[in-house]
Amino acid sequence: MFTLDDTIAAISTPVGEGGIGIVRMSGPEALGIVQGFFAAGRRALFPPTPPSLVPHRLTYGRVVDPACGKVVDEVLVVYMPSPRTFTRQDVVEINCHGGVVPLRRVLELCLRDGARLAEPGEFTLRAFLNGRIDLAQAEAVLDVVQARTEAGLRLAMDQLGGRLSEEIRRVRGQLVDVLAWLEAAVDFAEDEIPERDMGPDLEAVQETLERLLASAEQGIIYRHGLRTAIVGRPNVGKSSLLNALLRTSRAIVTPIPGTTRDTLEETLNLRGVPLVLVDTAGIRAASDDPVERLGIERSRTALASADLALLVVDGSESLTPTDYDIAALVGEKTALVVVNKSDLPAVADAGCLLAQRPHLRVSALTGKGLEMLEETIIETVFAGRVVASDAVLVSSPRHKESLHRALDHVIAAQATLADGLPADFVSIDVTAAVNVLGEITGETAHEDMLEAIFSRFCIGK
């Protein structure tokens, strides 16, 4: 996966039918390979005359199979010589018609003439290994592709532009400066090394790391979305609530209890937050239907893995033991109690269910109370925490974990310093913090970490 001296090729557009599809190559032989089967102009010459491709300019022509002289597709080809490319290698992109067959045939020609099929994320990996982007920016490439809201896209673009990397390098540079003095004090103990109070430097680093971590939860929500399980007993209006929030008829709704037999997921853009709504089968203590039992078990699993639970009860009926059982399953999870069917005469007193959580009366039928529910979801998730619009947001669980470890080492170094221990003891934790921060931008990332990160990418990116 870490080879840089060969040429890789892949289809870089989604599989299926579309207006155009792109086959991309990167590596030293990219230009020679495409010249072997591309005939510039309107006439498909056989064998193709190697065209003179002007860098960074689209050239019209046809892909011709040299083995038989048949035209494969009518295409536009662009050649981008190194180092002014994404991978800092020679890159060729072949813009084909967006069908499965022409794209596959063009890719086969690339592979037959000397390229190899790219691994997932290998184009971005080459951009990282060749120094065009750092590791945090490389991860942001995937975030841009997977962004579900405008807010998530802005966050990804900020990281791709290097805002987080700049902050990490700045704080890491502070620690490197401290470490340089510590190592000098150890290596040249007999010389006159100027005295230095490292306390303020370590305190400044601690403050920066804590500020970044304070934004992590919000950033991760914008990036990954908030998994929200809609739970309750059968026929309280869970699927109706899903449809009302989505403003479309997505789930089947009938008066028959137990209509929903499996979990159903849809994503809602709620004030820029991707809200992953999971409609679940109605939970009850027992069922003779094996399909319904399986659905109930999946509902329990969805609830356990959710970030937020919406416990739906029927406000037009008295609470049942099942309502209390489901509330017990919610436990300490972040949750809201949604009293549905407020368009009917109120009967249920749901105040005793999850008493310390917000309770809202809504009508999935009329839409009454939905805006208040949406506002309450946002307030509950962010718990009043407001991050300045120009602040750097940490949006990756990996970065959050690394920042936590770095902070622990900085605090440990401060404690060692306060105890009056020698400089070499302090340097142990400072060195560890420097290395951990280097994992975020890639200076100290190991091969297993790189493989784990880039394996999440699609082939062709």
Instruction: Please indicate whether residue 198 or residue 158 has the higher confidence score (pLDDT).
Output: 158
Spatial contact of 272 and 149, defined as CB atoms under 8 Å apart: yes
pLDDT-based confidence at residue 7 (cuts at 50, 70, 90): very high
pLDDT at 261 over 50: no
Q: How far is the C-alpha of 100 from the C-alpha of 116, rounded, in Å?
A: 19
pLDDT of residue 153: 87
pLDDT at 183 over 50: yes
Which CA distances in Å does 288 have to 12, 285, 375?
49, 11, 40
pLDDT of residue 18: 85
Tell me which of 28-37, 302-311, 407-416 is least confident: 302-311
**Percent over 90 (pLDDT), the chain:** 43
- pTM of the model as a whole: 0.81
pLDDT at 16 over 60: yes
Rounded average pLDDT over 226-230: 89
The β-bridge relationship of strands 226-231 and 273-279 is parallel
Which CA distances in Å does 444 have to 128, 135, 242?
13, 10, 45
Query: Looking only at Cα atoms, what is the longest distance across the chain?
Result: 86
Rounded average pLDDT over 142-168: 89
Instruction: Please indicate whether residue 166 or residue 355 has the higher confidence score (pLDDT).
Output: 166
Which CA distances in Å does 290 have to 20, 286, 373?
47, 10, 34
Residue 347 neighbours by CB distance under 10 Å: 12
Q: What CATH number does the domain located at 224-382 have?
A: 3.40.50.300
pLDDT of residue 3: 82
Q: How far is the C-alpha of 53 from the C-alpha of 59, rounded, in Å?
A: 7
Task: Please give the distance of CA 291 from its chain centroid, rounded to a whole number.
Answer: 34
Which CA distances in Å does 195 have to 7, 176, 191, 418?
54, 17, 12, 16
pLDDT of residue 303: 84
- What does the DSSP 8-state code read for residue 457? S
pLDDT of residue 97: 93
Instruction: Return all residues near 101 (Cβ < 8 A) that are at least 6 apart.
Output: none
Query: Is the Cα dihedral 360, 366, 371, 373 positive or negative?
Result: positive
Which token pair is 205? 């680093």
pLDDT-based confidence at residue 286 (cuts at 50, 70, 90): low
Q: What CATH number does the domain located at 140-215+393-441 have?
A: 1.20.120.430
Instruction: Return all residues near 338 (Cβ < 8 A) that are at least 6 apart.
Output: 241, 310, 311, 312, 313, 360, 362, 373
Spatial contact of 228 and 307, defined as CB atoms under 8 Å apart: yes
pLDDT at 150 over 50: yes
pLDDT at 239 over 70: yes
Burial label for 368, CB within 10 Å (0-12, 13-18, 19+), is middle
The β-bridge relationship of strands 59-64 and 38-40 is antiparallel
In 35-90, the DSSP E strands lie at 38-40, 59-64, 71-80
pLDDT at 363 over 70: yes
DSSP 261-275: -S-EEEEEEETTEEE
The β-bridge relationship of strands 226-231 and 308-314 is parallel
Rounded average pLDDT over 360-380: 90
DSSP 340-397: E-TTSPP---GGGTTTTS-EEE--TTT-TTHHHHHHHHHHHHHTT----TTSPPP--H
- Domain segments of the chain as ranges: 8-133, 140-215+393-441, 224-382
Q: What CATH number does the domain located at 8-133 have?
A: 3.30.1360.120
Closest CA to 280 of 315, 256, 249, 304: 304
Which token pair is 163? 């805002």
- What does the DSSP 8-state code read for residue 313? E
pLDDT of residue 389: 56
Do you know the residue count of the chain? 461
Q: What is the mean pLDDT of the chain?
A: 86
Rounded average pLDDT over 260-266: 66
pLDDT at 154 over 60: yes
pLDDT tens, residue by residue, 82-135: 999 999 999 999 999 988 999 999 999 999 999 999 999 999 999 999 999 999
Instruction: Return all residues near 1 (Cβ < 8 A) that are at least 6 apart.
Output: 119, 122, 125, 450, 451, 454
Which token pair is 275? 């809200």
Q: How far is the C-alpha of 260 from the C-alpha of 257, rounded, in Å?
A: 8
Which CA distances in Å does 249 have to 253, 272, 341?
9, 22, 18
pLDDT of residue 252: 46
Spatial contact of 46 and 69, defined as CB atoms under 8 Å apart: yes
